[in-house]
Amino acid sequence: WESPITASFITDAGVGLGGASVGPASGDLYWLERRPKEGGRSVLCRRAPDDETASERGAVDITPAGTNIRTRVHEYGGKSHTIAKDVAADGSTSEFVVYANFADQRLYKLTVGTSADPVELTPKSAYEEDGRYRFGDFVVDEKRNRLLCVREDHTKPEPANVVNTIVSVALDGSGQMEVLASGSDFYAAPRVSPDGSKLAFITWEHPSMPWDVTRLCVLDLDAPPGAEPTVVAGGGGDTPG
């Protein structure tokens, strides 16, 4: 007897939910849906139960059809999108999302609530090869109108030659990038201070894992280019908790 309840029947029916966040301007709830029936792609959704196009989960899709929000930073992925507030000259506010698209590992900026196409933040004019860089753990530096994130450089794809840094990425689609922190094997969790003056992040070295030995570092964002971060915790066998 062949059961009609197959493995694909079970997995296709289950939409994975994660990455919940609240819009900084609207207060709306956003989340990621991983959809087995759409090839497992991850879609950013916004809660809108009264919208006539809302799904059975009371949400509308924000990212375009075919987009798959996922980053390959550290191979197992990382934070693959962020939602930020935009303030217009007249003082009105809106929201935009920056995300990594899995197919090309490039960054895109999409203004929520408009029909405009996403702006490619890392276009081919900046570098030709898809996947040369991978990006993750995003945070917007509102004071300087730029994205801050972890970048993996796969120009030389052998694992021993992959270079990890923390960089800034312009939000205007120019593809301009600046390395803010370098020299360690791995970086994670960049966060901007409430006053916008400093950047905190975690770093560690091979062969340690992030639960073995890490360092918590702080970088002055107003310091001249090339300034070294300050280690404020960890190292020597410790991991900041």
3-class DSSP assignment, residue 29: strand
- What's the pLDDT at 172? 95
Query: In this model, does residue 207 exceed pLDDT 70?
Result: yes
Mean per-residue pLDDT of the chain: 91
The answer to whether residues 125 and 170 touch, using CB atoms and an 8 Å cutoff, is no
Give Cβ neighbours of residue 85 (< 8 Å, ≥ 6 apart): 23, 24, 25, 93, 94, 95, 142
Task: Give the whole-angstrom CA distance, residue 199 versus residue 211.
Answer: 21
Closest CA to 130 of 122, 118, 138: 122
The pTM of the full predicted model, rounded to 2 decimals, is: 0.90
- What's the pLDDT at 41? 95
Instruction: Summarize the confidence of residues 75-80 as an average pLDDT.
Output: 76
Instruction: Summarize the confidence of residues 94-115 as an average pLDDT.
Output: 95
> Could you read off the pLDDT of 172-191 as tens digits, one per residue?
999 999 999 999 999 999 99
> Could you read off the pLDDT of 10-64 as tens digits, one per residue?
565 688 999 999 999 999 999 999 999 999 999 999 999 999 999 999 999 999 9
- What's the pLDDT at 76? 65
Query: In this model, does residue 9 exceed pLDDT 60?
Result: no
- What's the pLDDT at 210? 87
Give Cβ neighbours of residue 183 (< 8 Å, ≥ 6 apart): none
> Could you read off the pLDDT of 208-228 as tens digits, one per residue?
888 899 999 999 999 988 889
Instruction: Summarize the confidence of residues 154-159 as an average pLDDT.
Output: 92
The answer to whether residues 32 and 42 touch, using CB atoms and an 8 Å cutoff, is yes
Query: In this model, does residue 166 exceed pLDDT 90?
Result: yes
